[in-house]
Chain A
Amino acid sequence: MHPVLKIILQRLALGLVTLFVVSIVIFTAVNMLPGDFAQAILGQGATPEAVDAIRRDLGLDQPPVTRYLQWLSGALQGDLGNSFAQANFASFVGADSGVRTTVAQQIAPRFENTMFLAGVTAAIAVPFAVTLGILAALYRNSVFDKAANIGTLTSISSPEFFVAYILILFLAVLNPMLPSLSNIYEGMPFSERLEKTLLPALTLTLVVTAHMMRMTRAAILNLMASPYIEMARLKGVKPIRVIVRHALPNALAPIINVVALNLAYLITGVVVVEVVFVYPGIGQLFVDSVKIRDIPVVQACCLIFAAAYILLNLTADILSIVSNPRLRHPK
């Protein structure tokens, strides 16, 4: 077998194992809670018989290992259980009230919204950060480089909500260019949806660009002392061409890595930003569910966030392996 393929398969297997263990951790954490689903939906005044009945119905009387396996196999098939908040007694005795009661139904549209937000952010942030990084490497130690250094350090250090409110203040309140509330609904025309997503996306862009730009700059500068760059410079290649043609392809592995890591960081950032802009995404659902202690939703959101995080880290790993010619063409 080709060695790269072997390493990639190993990483994939490791990722799967990690995801499995993480799901156990999440399940265990949630099951430390006193009381259970049955008590929660029936309230304090429920008779023990009623609680027992629902418990039997939902399989809560089973041992934890069985319940974990059921939850896991359900999650793999897209069934994440029922939400506390939307649950009413009727939905458990079979009458369909038309309310979205399952976690999967609640999460699906919001997941799509969050993906849209992350996509728009990535589409703005990645080219922006890489260009800025190349420019900072090209004009290193100039006023531009120093200003970019201080600016990025400041934006890394600011909490997301500070950046968000500053943007709201200047782009939505004082100069009404963009809407400050992102009330997205299904079937919205794309342009309008994009306009409403722009301000949260810009906030996230400012938060993640800094790190990506600094790493791009560092990765390129790392190579600038190598002999083949010296050679290119001595034969009279233009500085921008030296960087784009000669340095950039070799700096690609660390850059791809940091881009993927920052997209993974978006997952955490998205929670706060969605709350600020009232963006109907999965992060907001998560925070709301945490507040009302809607355990099945919290559990599912946590699993989705963790899976996305692991997946992006895995992608970063694999891409940096693939982009390494020493591994692709072993002696």
Chain B
Amino acid sequence: MSAWLWIVALLAGSLAVGWLGRFAAQKATGNKPVYRDMPLAVAFGYALGVALLALAVWYYFQPTVQETGVANAGVMFFRWAVHGFFGFAVAAWLFRLLGRSLGTAASRKLFRQMPLTAAFGILVIIIYAVTAIFAGLLAPHGQAEVFAQANIVPGGNPALGGNPDFPLGTDQIGRDILSRLIYGAQNTVGIAFATTLIAFFLGGSLGFLAATLRGWMDQLLSRAVDVLMAIPSLIFSLLLITVASAWVSGFGLTVAMVLIIAVIDSTRVFRLARAVGMNIVVMDYIEAAKLRGEGLPYLIFKEILPNATAPLLAEFGLRFCFVFLTISALSFLGLGIQPPLADWGTMVKDLSAFINYAGFAPLAASVPLLAAGAIALLTVAVNFVVDWMLQRSSGLKE
């Protein structure tokens, strides 16, 4: 209960310090308008912010090993998080600097206007793409290779039960965790990407078709999509996977999952593609193409598609995040990507028990968080890039 008391004390203290600080600043500066008109809430906010920052700095410099010899896991995790945060910030800044000085005039201009968050997003996406494509070369071991020694502690320090051959240790049945993380990039990201592509192809072409043809075709497709969208997507995919699991298993089930999620997600793409297509088909150039006697495929792929790329591209990023999270959630529940394929969601589930040992074995506890963090990092990165793209295309400055 003392923790709650500390929180209340921190808030009350910030309020008092904020009031006193404002009062002191008013007196010291002879009632400058900035301080005279400052609401107490703002003063409180500044005081609380400074207090939290000070607390963070103090916590960062706590010793990682307590006097009793037990590792202070909280401090270790906090340091890793801080290092990761600043490491990525610096990397993104350097990356943006690189982009500003290299490449064509257009790409340099793009990088000049780019906020740091978007640079971070692009950098992370590039890293993931490289890892996914060259996973076979980067990974020290195979993804399903089982070694004699199971449950090796991460860190590679033989004194603590590690093994330099397995820098992140091995899992319960003796597979190298680092290799599985790297292959996870290939499997999880690759499968999510393929699923999104299928969903886009399906939803996009049907949506444009509905927008071009109108009439009963449009009605039929739209009503079908309405019904499919009325069922929550994770629930519906779980139901369909149950059905599919009676027919296929193993790799077949993974393929079935990809198709199921692609169909369910294509409904969302359909909605957008139809709405965007509706605005385009009334344009004069479509009328001209129709009068020229162009066929339906030409209309859809040569006239409508090029003019709908911007919103569809932003939607592709968001849809990819959504599909990626759905697949991870399904894998986490044990119903997504099936073994022997390495996959982050499954890894989190398999290794999650180690989190309970965080107090005395922080290294072991970090491994499931690493896999979950890998998922979160990519979605955050894609979201940052999409956010920036949307803001650029809509001209929103906020």
Q: Judging by beta carbons under 8 Å apart, are A157 and B235 in contact?
A: no
Q: Does B380 contact A (CB under 8 A)?
A: yes
A110 to chain B, nearest CB (A): 15
Q: Does B195 contact A (CB under 8 A)?
A: no
Task: A271 to B42: give the CA distance in the assembly, Å.
Answer: 40
Q: Judging by beta carbons under 8 Å apart, are A272 and B333 in contact?
A: yes
Complex interface: chain B residues within 8 A of A160 (CB)? 329
Given contacts A160-B329, A286-B235, contact A310 B372 (CB under 8 A): no
Contacting B at CB under 8 A, from A148-163, are 150, 153-154, 156-162
Stretch at the interface among A1-9, A249-257, A288-296, A321-329: A288-296
Q: Judging by beta carbons under 8 Å apart, are B42 and A290 in contact?
A: no
Complex interface: chain B residues within 8 A of A286 (CB)? 235, 238
Task: A153 to B388: give the CA distance in the assembly, Å.
Answer: 12
Stretch at the interface among B273-281, B296-304, B307-315, B350-358: B350-358
Interface 0/1 of A270-288, CB less than 8 Å to B: 0110011000000000110
Q: Judging by beta carbons under 8 Å apart, are B242 and A34 in contact?
A: no
Q: Of A161, A290, A298, which is within 8 A of B348 by CB? A: A161
Contacting A at CB under 8 A, from B1-56, are 3, 39, 41-42, 45, 49
Complex interface: chain A residues within 8 A of B358 (CB)? 169, 173-174
Which chain A residue lies CB-closest to B352? A165
Q: Does A166 contact B (CB under 8 A)?
A: yes
Task: A240 to B39: give the CA distance in the assembly, Å.
Answer: 10
Q: Judging by beta carbons under 8 Å apart, are B359 and A159 in contact?
A: no
Task: A291 to B253: give the CA distance in the assembly, Å.
Answer: 13
B203 to chain A, nearest CB (A): 18
Complex interface: chain A residues within 8 A of B62 (CB)? none
Q: Of B45, B233, B373, which is within 8 A of A144 by CB? A: B45
Q: Does B207 contact A (CB under 8 A)?
A: no
Q: Judging by beta carbons under 8 Å apart, are A18 and B235 in contact?
A: no
Task: A140 to B227: give the CA distance in the assembly, Å.
Answer: 40
Q: Of A161, A305, A313, which is within 8 A of B235 by CB? A: A305
Given contacts A268-B232, A302-B236, A310-B230, contact A153 B369 (CB under 8 A): no
Q: Judging by beta carbons under 8 Å apart, are B235 and A267 in contact?
A: yes
Q: Does B193 contact A (CB under 8 A)?
A: no
Q: Judging by beta carbons under 8 Å apart, are B232 and A295 in contact?
A: no
Which chain A residue lies CB-closest to B334? A291
Interface 0/1 of B344-379, CB less than 8 Å to A: 010010001001101100000100110011011001
Q: Does B384 contact A (CB under 8 A)?
A: yes
Q: Judging by beta carbons under 8 Å apart, are A173 and B398 in contact?
A: no
Contacting B at CB under 8 A, from A1-53, are 18-19, 21-22, 25-26, 29-30, 32-35
Task: A291 to B335: give the CA distance in the assembly, Å.
Answer: 8
Given contacts A160-B329, A271-B333, contact A18 B230 (CB under 8 A): yes
Q: Judging by beta carbons under 8 Å apart, are A309 and B230 in contact?
A: yes
Complex interface: chain B residues within 8 A of A21 (CB)? 227, 230
Residue from A35, A156, A175, A313 whose CB has the most chain B CB atoms within 10 Å: A156
Q: Does A73 contact B (CB under 8 A)?
A: no
Complex interface: chain B residues within 8 A of A162 (CB)? 348, 369, 372-373, 375-376
Complex interface: chain B residues within 8 A of A22 (CB)? 227, 230-231
Complex interface: chain B residues within 8 A of A299 (CB)? 239
Q: Judging by beta carbons under 8 Å apart, are A153 and B329 in contact?
A: no
Given contacts A18-B227, A26-B239, contact A293 B356 (CB under 8 A): no
Q: Does A92 contact B (CB under 8 A)?
A: no
Q: Does A219 contact B (CB under 8 A)?
A: no
Q: Does B74 contact A (CB under 8 A)?
A: yes
Complex interface: chain B residues within 8 A of A174 (CB)? 73-74, 77, 358-359
Q: Judging by beta carbons under 8 Å apart, are B355 and A302 in contact?
A: no
Q: Does A231 contact B (CB under 8 A)?
A: no
Q: Does B183 contact A (CB under 8 A)?
A: no
Given contacts A22-B230, A141-B398, contact A150 B355 (CB under 8 A): no
Task: A144 to B365: give the CA distance in the assembly, Å.
Answer: 32
Q: Judging by beta carbons under 8 Å apart, are A170 and B333 in contact?
A: no
Q: Judging by beta carbons under 8 Å apart, are B332 and A161 in contact?
A: yes
Given contacts A173-B355, A305-B232, contact A161 B329 (CB under 8 A): yes
Q: Judging by beta carbons under 8 Å apart, are A153 and B380 in contact?
A: yes
Q: Judging by beta carbons under 8 Å apart, are B239 and A268 in contact?
A: no
Known: A159-B372, A309-B231. 20 other contacts (CB 8 A): A30-B239, A35-B246, A139-B42, A157-B376, A158-B376, A158-B380, A159-B325, A159-B345, A159-B379, A161-B352, A162-B348, A170-B74, A271-B238, A287-B333, A302-B236, A302-B239, A305-B235, A306-B230, A306-B232, A306-B235
**A residues at B contact (CB < 8 Å):** 18-19, 21-22, 25-26, 29-30, 32-35, 139-141, 143-144, 150, 153-154, 156-162, 165-166, 168-170, 173-175, 177, 180, 221, 238, 240, 264, 267-268, 271-272, 275-276, 286-287, 290-291, 293, 295, 298-299, 301-302, 305-306, 309-310, 313
Sampled A-B contacts (6; CB under 8 Å) = A22-B230, A34-B247, A168-B355, A174-B73, A240-B41, A302-B231
